[in-house]
């Protein structure tokens, strides 16, 4: 009896040890995949500080994700995310379910070069060009063996959008570098991969694409508003100058 009990204890210890080892290995594997695939798809370096997969809580936390600006722009990061939390569902077969992806407090830089090209648009174009394509009959090579996922909801909140027009040629008026910061309203990207699931190596790309679309839309609206205000200020300045010149002419005429 004692021998049987000892064998059972050894088996339990071995299983627990294997789970702990698998979890640790999974963390490094996920982090490496995010960096590798992110850099490949966006054509700019992507770095991740750490990944924590908790089996007991059904949660995956990704910390400190930085996406560098594409070539031709400043040395600042285009996107910085302090953390992403994935609440995992209970499905045990494909497509696997992720109940919610929460991204809180990301910082996004919208930058224009001298020709008016936006850094976020370049990243979006890179993503479109480098993402694997394929259909159900002929899946893309990088996605053929990847497990399929469904994300029920993606929520992005407290996004700080920074507008940088330092390199943009604005004509007669100037815009200060990074003088414009706005906090975007909470953005719900909705479901991803329904109904059949999306290969796991494309889920992150889909989330980034939706974040870029939303940021570009909001940035263009803010840029248009800023440009309109600056143009109005310029018109008011010119009007005041013309009024002063008109007064001087009247004085000269009456004298």
Query: What pLDDT digit, counting tens, does each position of 124-173 carry?
Result: 999 999 887 654 333 444 455 567 888 999 999 999 999 887 776 655 54
Domain ranges of the chain: 2-254
- Give the residues across from 59 on adjacent strands: 54, 87
Query: What pLDDT digit, counting tens, does each position of 44-85 carry?
Result: 999 999 988 887 788 889 999 999 999 989 899 999 999 899
Q: Which of 7-11, 16-20, 70-74 has the highest mean pLDDT?
A: 70-74
Paired sense of beta strands 159-164 and 187-188, if any: unpaired
Q: What is the pLDDT of residue 77?
A: 94
Kindly calculate the radius of gyration of the chain based on its CA atoms and give it in whole angstroms: 26
The pLDDT mean for the chain works out to 77
Of 44-48, 113-117, 174-178, the one with minimum mean pLDDT is 174-178
Q: What is the pLDDT of residue 140?
A: 47
Residues in the chain: 255
Instruction: Please give the model's pTM, rounded to 2 decimal places.
Output: 0.74
Q: What is the pLDDT of residue 70?
A: 94
Let me know: does 53 contact 47? Beta carbons within 8 Å: no
């Amino acid at each position: 009896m004692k021998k049987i009990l000892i064998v059972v204890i050894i088996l339990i210890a071995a299983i627990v040890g294997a789970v702990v080892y698998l979890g640790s290995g999974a963390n490094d594997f996920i982090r490496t995949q995010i960096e590798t695939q992110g850099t490949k798809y966006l054509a700019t370096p992507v770095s991740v500080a750490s990944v924590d997969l908790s089996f007991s809580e059904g949660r995956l936390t990704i910390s400190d994700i930085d996406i560098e600006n594409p070539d031709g722009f400043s040395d600042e990061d285009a996107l910085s995310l302090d953390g992403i939390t994935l609440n995992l569902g209970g499905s045990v077969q494909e497509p696997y379910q992720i109940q919610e992806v929460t991204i809180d407090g990301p910082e996004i830089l919208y930058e224009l070069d001298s020709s008016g090209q936006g850094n976020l648009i370049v990243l979006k174009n890179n993503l479109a060009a480098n993402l694997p394509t394929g259909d159900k009959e002929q899946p893309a090579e990088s996605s053929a063996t990847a497990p399929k996922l469904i994300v029920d909801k993606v929520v992005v909140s407290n996004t700080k959008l920074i507008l940088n027009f330092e390199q943009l040629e604005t004509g007669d008026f100037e815009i200060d570098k990074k003088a414009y910061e706005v906090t975007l309203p909470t953005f719900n990207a909705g479901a991803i991969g329904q109904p059949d699931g999306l290969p796991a190596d494309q889920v992150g790309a889909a989330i980034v694409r939706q974040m870029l679309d939303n940021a570009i839309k909001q940035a263009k609206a803010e840029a248009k508003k800023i440009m309109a205000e600056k143009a109005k200020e310029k018109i008011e300045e010119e009007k005041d100058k013309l009024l002063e010149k008109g007064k001087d002419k009247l004085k000269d005429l009456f004298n």
